[in-house]
Amino acid sequence: MTFRILSAVLLLSLVAGHAVRADEPVEYSPAQASALESVEQHAAQILELNQKIWNFAEVGLAEHQSAAALVDTLKSEGFEVETGVAGIPTAFVASYGSGHPIIGVLAEYDALPGLSQKVTPDRDPVSDGAPGHGCGHSGLGSGAVGSVIAIKEAMQKHNLKGTIRLYGTPAEETVIGKVYMLLGGQFRDLDVCLHWHPSSKNQPWYGSSKAVVSAKFTFSGLTAHASGSPEKGRSALDGAELMNVGVNFMREHLKEDHRMHYVITDGGGAPNVVPAKATVWYFVRADKHEDVEHNFAWLKQIAEGAALMSRTKVEVQIDTDCHEIIENRPLADLIYKHLKQVGPPKFTQEEQAFARRIQLPLEEEFGTTYPIAIDEKVYTVEESSAPSKGSTDVGDISWYVPTGGLRTTCFVAESPGHSWQNVACIGHSIGEKGILYASKVLAVTALELFEMPEEVIKAKAEFESRMKGRKYTTLIPKGQKPPATIR
């Protein structure tokens, strides 16, 4: 069912800035070849979608315009779309086909607060203090949509059986969307789930991630005049600050992979009024969910002690509880094969110069010299196996179905995560090349799973092996609705 396509793939690759060696023919099935052509044909549409979402720059749970743009595109391409999934207005599921295998592709589209930035190599916000796509999710969502359009067209043209789904998952930055969608019954009937993320490297996503609990501790006290009658007040802020002091002593006794970070979201209104309310928002992370559970129980004890010391009361609101990623080697190997076969983007001298200018402030600030401006290498599975220090709600899906992912170069080499540099790059041609590359790799990977059932069987066998002795649990109270806003 495969045939050699030299001239077509070589032409498509050159158009997108991809390198394919003429002495190494690439074998694709007719359906995969059609998908590669489809991504090229829809390239302008995909990149326009990225620009729209980049300009909307909406934070999690408020991505109304971004979600609408993705939904409208998918409906226009013949997908059936369900919106408002799991009680989240900006969550949706788009489907084409019927029966098994059912392959899911994930889309994210939330921005980060305070990272507004023009497509320039110097710090220059579009609007001071406004959000920006410092994690590249404008490209993530548009690239995922581009892939499923290509998959659908190939399935239609070559009469492939099965179902392709695009999951619109909001609020990834606060690891909320996928968790509540999962608790609402989504994802569990998938045979395989695929995902991707903009990065400074091209690689299969084989490393795990950190589990995390996001929770808010609200202290309640009594107001009083801070100078005239302080003895009549009970400072909620004292409770919050005493909690933070306790946690900072706690850090000395944590394992190396554990993390605690917090912000005070409400600390009172004026220094001459004893605050009756104060809220501190915590992220508790570790490589294993069981360690997060242990540390969170400890954290609650510290909060209770702080309430006793300040003679206040404390309430805990768990916003989300996210698990670490369960890796899948067969899917990682399959994705690596297609990262190599499709071929990574090549960048022009102008793009390299833009990247070098982006790196200069980082070199000046940290005294680091970057040997390359943009990383064009494709990293092996072994080179991509280090656990991530960040968290993603993709992890929760991976506890239920075999899950595989990839990263593509959309940012400058060694770019820090959640930075204005990334905002500039995902709106630039540097990011655009990585977006189209990801669309192609996701498409041909999914089509191989549709056409070769043995690949799905291998992924499922690996999943069953890794899940032995593991049981999914959540600290989110049963029946709790998703948060309406991040704060």
Q: What digits encode the pLDDT tens for the residues 17-35? A: 443 343 355 689 999 999 9
Please report which confidence band the pLDDT of residue 1 belongs to, taking 50, 70 and 90 as the band edges: very low
| 66 and 161 belong to one structural domain | yes
Q: What digits encode the pLDDT tens for the residues 454-466? A: 999 999 999 999 9
| 129 and 78 belong to one structural domain | yes
| 193 and 263 belong to one structural domain | no
Q: What digits encode the pLDDT tens for the residues 130-177? A: 999 999 999 999 999 999 999 999 999 999 999 999 999 999 999 999
Q: What digits encode the pLDDT tens for the residues 411-423? A: 999 999 999 999 9
Please report which confidence band the pLDDT of residue 367 belongs to, taking 50, 70 and 90 as the band edges: confident
CATH number at residue 437: 3.40.630.10
Instruction: Calculate mean pLDDT across residues 184-202.
Output: 98
Report the pLDDT value the prediction gives residue 487, as an integer from 0 to 100.
65
Asked if the structure places residue 50 within a domain, the reply is yes
Report the pLDDT value the prediction gives residue 385, as an integer from 0 to 100.
96
| 234 and 266 belong to one structural domain | yes
| 303 and 388 belong to one structural domain | no
| 119 and 26 belong to one structural domain | yes
Asked if the structure places residue 487 within a domain, the reply is no
Q: Please tell me which residue, 66 or 20, carries the higher pLDDT value.
A: 66
pLDDT at 200 exceeding the cut of 70: yes
Q: What digits encode the pLDDT tens for the residues 78-107? A: 999 999 999 999 999 999 999 999 999 999
Query: Structurally, how many domains does the chain consist of?
Result: 2
| 307 and 340 belong to one structural domain | no
| 128 and 277 belong to one structural domain | no
| 127 and 166 belong to one structural domain | yes
Question: How many C-beta neighbours within 10 Å does residue 375 have?
Answer: 23
Instruction: Calculate mean pLDDT across residues 178-190.
Output: 98
What is the domain range of residue 292? 211-322
| 460 and 372 belong to one structural domain | yes
Asked if the structure places residue 153 within a domain, the reply is yes
| 291 and 394 belong to one structural domain | no
CATH number at residue 288: 3.30.70.360
Question: How many C-beta neighbours within 10 Å does residue 188 have?
Answer: 9
